[in-house]
A and B are shown apart, each in its own frame.
Chain A
């Protein structure tokens, strides 16, 4: 009975409303991210965007200006005359690539370490968690700047740097999830079948960790994108010639008085992207909340 009772403690109208909003809160951010993703792939190609190309005649034109080649720069142009819309979408491409790769690496590394630490415990657990504590105590953007100055600039390095500062969160959450699952009878049941450690970790425990992993991943995505932008803003992220939302915003700040759009519009786009992933993460968290999962 206990399971049934736990499931049905919310009145139907309330529960239905909650579940309806959960679906909307998952769907809308997914659509937004999808559109941005498609845009990031398609727009720079359509516009034949070249980051190194400069056309000083049309620099700093406001949004809606007709260009010499007959097109209209809907978001205006930047300080070297590139179409801001194309530049932004190319920047979004970098942001999405950096975000996805970072989460993949951090998720796999952190997830595995968390699984192992939680399952085996002992010195491995102690060591890992101490490292995690130390790292968490250190401001991650500072760590990133430090690492980039050692590794040098470049997208790959940005990914590595951000992965290093993000695996900890995965490791900690998965570890505590495993600690909770480990004592459940069904995990013991697998042991009494004679299952190996490998079997128990990857076939029994891992599936129970997927949901929290997804939740952290979508929450973290926004942070990673922001961190990449911040690094690029500070000039230690994407190298020259690689457009990034951060570097576009950064260069735009010099022209805030005369050409407000260069910083503001990419800034808004960044806001939308981060908000979308944040909302998605919260919605996923609700979706996996057992109290809402029924019938």
Chain B
């Protein structure tokens, strides 16, 4: 099974990461304070492993991803990649790291440059890193990659808007693969896809991992997807890691109340069969979100359901 983590030294090790966004005054845009988006986040990703990052909207998942890939600068903490702290790297050194670390974005529409053909989209990384693929082979290798992610290589001259959402996400994956990375960060990479297409893309990600030994940092608000794909899971709440463990521990024996609430809220496809997640439903999720109201009892609804159907 691809999920069994080999016990190498970590590929990515994040320690005590802190990121704060400036708060600006509305008129003069002067910085009047800061909002700490994540604090004290520590985790590791081993080569070939899939680590899931879950949490509610605003819990800081994207912030972690974006600081790991270098889109934002952390305020404190270290991000080790292959044993080197890349937060201290110069832009030139960072460039070589970026080759090994790629990202697949959430929005299959906004993440592909509308003015480039599929071939050029895939080749863009080679334009930046000249030594990966010689220029004469760009078309051939790009077509190989298209085939690899399940796209018809004859379409390499088409533009992204001529593809469906799922196909576009495959283009995004091909682009990420073009630089032969070791780690791919997927920030809600399948969230915008319909469930049948999402399953295709998830299978593809698994195949690629098996074949190329990729490691994934997989961010999703959909817990069933994370449960399906990840070996280890990190639960983020209010910018802090509240629980971390193997997927079995987290989903079968959640310790933290927040994790329990999150799991209890996952919709079950066939509620009449009883919950598949063995977590207790005693914790009301309401207590942990801003709402703070008394929960209408969903259990009674399920029983009503049985009478109707």
Q: Touch between A and B in complex, CB under 8 Å?
A: yes
**Interface majority SS on A: helix, strand, loop or mixed?**
helix
Report yes or no: A193 in contact with B105, Cβ–Cβ below 8 A.
Answer: no
Report yes or no: B113 in contact with A204, Cβ–Cβ below 8 A.
Answer: yes
A222 to B148, CA, bound (A): 53
- Asked if A69 is at the interface (CB within 8 A of a chain B CB), the reply is no
A189 to B125, CA, bound (A): 10
Report yes or no: A189 in contact with B109, Cβ–Cβ below 8 A.
Answer: no
CB within 8 Å for A196 and B110 given contacts A1-B165, A3-B161, A189-B175 = no
| Interfacial residues of chain A within 182-231, with CB under 8 A of chain B in the complex | 184-186, 188-196, 199, 203-204, 207-208
CB neighbours (8 Å) of B70 from chain A are 191-192
Question: Which B-chain residue is minimally distant from A200 (CB atoms)?
Answer: B128
A188 to B94, CA, bound (A): 15
A3 to B175, CA, bound (A): 21
- Asked if B180 is at the interface (CB within 8 A of a chain A CB), the reply is no
Number of residue pairs across A and B with beta carbons under 8 Å? 63
CB within 8 Å for A194 and B109 given contacts A1-B165, A189-B175, A208-B115 = no
B27 to chain A, nearest CB (A): 15
CB neighbours (8 Å) of A191 from chain B are 70-71
Report yes or no: A192 in contact with B110, Cβ–Cβ below 8 A.
Answer: no
Interface size of A in residues (CB-CB distance below 8 Å): 20
| Interfacial residues of chain B within 66-116, with CB under 8 A of chain A in the complex | 69-71, 94-96, 98-99, 101-103, 105-107, 109-115
- Asked if B53 is at the interface (CB within 8 A of a chain A CB), the reply is no
CB neighbours (8 Å) of B161 from chain A are 3
B87 to chain A, nearest CB (A): 16
A191 to B101, CA, bound (A): 12
Report yes or no: A199 in contact with B127, Cβ–Cβ below 8 A.
Answer: yes
B289 to chain A, nearest CB (A): 28
Report yes or no: B125 in contact with A185, Cβ–Cβ below 8 A.
Answer: no
CB neighbours (8 Å) of A196 from chain B are 128
From A2, A3, A186, A204, contact of B111 by CB (8 A): A186
Report yes or no: A194 in contact with B105, Cβ–Cβ below 8 A.
Answer: no
CB neighbours (8 Å) of A193 from chain B are 98, 102, 124-125, 128-129, 175, 179
A248 to B126, CA, bound (A): 58
Report yes or no: B71 in contact with A186, Cβ–Cβ below 8 A.
Answer: no
CB neighbours (8 Å) of B125 from chain A are 193-194
A203 to chain B, nearest CB (A): 8
- Most A C-beta atoms less than 10 A away, residue of B98, B128, B129, B161: B128
Closest 10 pairs (CB-CB, A-B): A194-B98, A185-B111, A194-B95, A185-B110, A193-B125, A186-B113, A185-B105, A192-B103, A207-B115, A195-B128
Which A residues fall within an 8 A CB radius of B? 1-3, 184-186, 188-196, 199, 203-204, 207-208
Q: List 28 A-B contacts (CB under 8 A).
A: A3-B161, A184-B110, A185-B107, A185-B111, A186-B110, A186-B111, A186-B112, A186-B113, A186-B114, A188-B71, A188-B111, A189-B105, A189-B111, A189-B172, A192-B69, A192-B71, A192-B101, A193-B98, A193-B102, A193-B129, A193-B175, A193-B179, A194-B95, A194-B96, A194-B98, A194-B99, A199-B128, A208-B115
